[in-house]
Amino acid sequence: MEKMRNSTGIILWVLIGSFGLLWVLADVNFFDAMQAGPNSLGSVNGEKISNEEYQSRIQYYSNAYSQQTGNSMTPEMRAFYENQAWDELVNSRLLDQKMKELGITVSDQEVLDMVFGDNPAPIIRQNFTREDGTIDRAAIQQVLSSSEFSQQAVALEVQLRNQRRQQKLQNFIAAGLQVTEQEVEDEYIRNNTTAEVNYLRFPYSEVAEQDLEISDSELQSYYNNNKDRFTRDESYRFRYVTFSKLPTEADTAQIIEDVRELREPFAQAENDSLFLARQGSSTSYNSSFVNENDVREEYQAVLDLEVGEVSDVILTANQAAILKKEAERGNEIKFQIMSYNIQALPSTIDDANERAADFEFFASEETDFEEEANSRNLEIKEAFATKGNNFISGLGTSQQIMNFLDGSDEGDISEVLELNSDFVVLEVLEVTPEGFRPFEEVRTQVENLVKIERRKELTTEKVQRLIDQYSTLEAIAESTEQEIQSQSNLRANATVIQGAGREPLVIGAAFALDAGETSGAIAGNSAVFIIKVVSKNEADLSNLDAQTRNEIRQRLEQQKFQEFNSVWLEQLKEDADIVDNRDRLLQ
């Protein structure tokens, strides 16, 4: 106590200093900034991606989805478009940075040429073409010069510049992927060279199991030398509970009653098309007559009605409906269907959502997942998911679940996720990082692969002994009691041999032979082959005209560009510093 009394002055000054520091930090909003977290949604090599542009892109997809389907986006579709929007923003940043690095720019004159030149950009043709097909230059000038259209003019210029820059980048890439004359001619020869072949096939499956003696050391050696074949992606094991969104008996009864109450108004309606539209019928107006014999079984009740009469409620697989005979013409009738889909009412869905949210709160804050589920008599199910694969056994395809699992830790509990037929809450039990699968886990797979290799070796040795012993294909066939198989008009670019399946390596080896020549043992996908080329029809390059040459060149250039572009973009991503703050900012 004496020491404390003697140190009172020091302690007092420390406290005063501490309170002063806290006051200064609070005055400059230090703690608000700490709580606020990242000030952007993410970045690519230090270039920020704002939440505004991310949400704007998602809103674009939402509007397009609503226009195309007439419905608002489901949570699952929104999760899909969120990932797509993010990927597009990242890709656009990477491409823009690469174009700056390469010095790819667009001059003002190039933009003007895209607008006023002899070959205007597609967006100009789309928006400023007259009925006679000519470009309305006056309308273009009005948009570019009038203050009324200033925002549209700026947006148009940005779009044109981006299009031109991307075209220059594509041209830059394509310039390095030139197709040579030799490549064109080789492709023409592959496409037009044919042969007639005879062959014998010795399947690997004919090797008896007892002939395959494989030691543990061989298995371990194969595993060590082929580890790349046994990699795994990040995976997750989790448990979950569901809260059904399917219609209850009460929902179905209510929908049936709602449809039944429309019988009299439907019978009195003078304009059936307007009536169906106003009542929101799930079946549209049909102006066609149908033969009585062609009326579907579930609608047979309409045949017993008088014109203008409405049936009682009928139930189909997913609808409650009433039928109205609108007209008769000989043995044909025209009838209308007023129907509502049998689905959960909003109150039922809200109740399921509330129960799911209540469970999630108590499982996260008050008890634990299993205890809370047991107290509510909820069935706990387990599932397994792999990163990069949105399909989850028992739950179907769900981008929302994969978004939650990506970056989650063991013990994390999700918020309520809305799937097509359920609300679901899940808890992560185990996260397995990507890497090599341990030997014991893949031992059976390794053993099967080693057995396949051993079958190939034994079969190849057997066939080679036959070739050394007998001089002709016919003699080998006779000695092995096989029938020689044949295929005429086999193309050099084919991948399948008739009666033998997909065997591109065997076909390639066959076309390396001359007419009349017989091969050695050729190990294929499913068997070892001996092939004799009966005849060979070599493509004549003198028949390669300019048009065909150009078509082949364009096709090869397109193939090269597509292959390079996808790999190149993935490489840019791997080398980039990409920061994704969505899981921290978008809760």
User: Residue 38 — pLDDT band, cuts 50, 70, 90?
Assistant: low
Q: Write out pLDDT tens, residues 302-345.
A: 999 999 999 999 998 789 999 999 999 999 999 999 999 999 99
Task: Tell the burial category of 497 from Cβ atoms under 10 Å away from its Cβ (0-12, 13-18, 19+).
Answer: buried
Average pLDDT over residues 171-192: 87
Q: Token digits for 128?
A: 């400023």
Average pLDDT over residues 39-64: 88
Q: How high is the pLDDT of residue 471? A: 85
Q: Are 160 and 153 in contact (CB under 8 A)?
A: no
Q: Write out pLDDT tens, residues 371-397.
A: 999 999 999 999 999 998 899 988 999
Q: Token digits for 552?
A: 């082949």
Instruction: Provide the CA 376 distance to its chain's centre, in angstroms.
Output: 37
Task: Give the three-state DSSP class for 119.
Answer: coil
Q: Write out pLDDT tens, residues 338-374.
A: 999 999 999 999 999 999 999 999 999 878 999 999 9
Q: Token digits for 536?
A: 């060979």
Q: Token digits for 104?
A: 């790819």
Q: What does the alpha-carbon distance between residue 330 and residue 343 come to, in Å, rounded to a whole number?
A: 38
Q: What does the alpha-carbon distance between residue 397 and residue 420 come to, in Å, rounded to a whole number?
A: 10
Residue 78: phi and psi, rounded to 5, are: -60, -40
Q: Write out pLDDT tens, residues 196-247.
A: 999 999 999 999 988 888 999 999 999 999 999 999 999 999 999 999 999 9
Examine the pLDDT at 12 and tell me if it is beyond 70.
no
Mean per-residue pLDDT over the chain, rounded = 87
Q: Write out pLDDT tens, residues 126-177.
A: 878 888 878 888 887 877 777 766 677 777 777 788 888 888 887 887 777 8
Q: What does the alpha-carbon distance between residue 372 and residue 359 come to, in Å, rounded to a whole number?
A: 7
Q: What does the alpha-carbon distance between residue 83 and residue 89 come to, in Å, rounded to a whole number?
A: 10
Examine the pLDDT at 55 and tell me if it is beyond 70.
yes
- Angle, vertex CA 559, rays to CA 556 and CA 562, nearest 5: 150
pTM of the model: 0.68
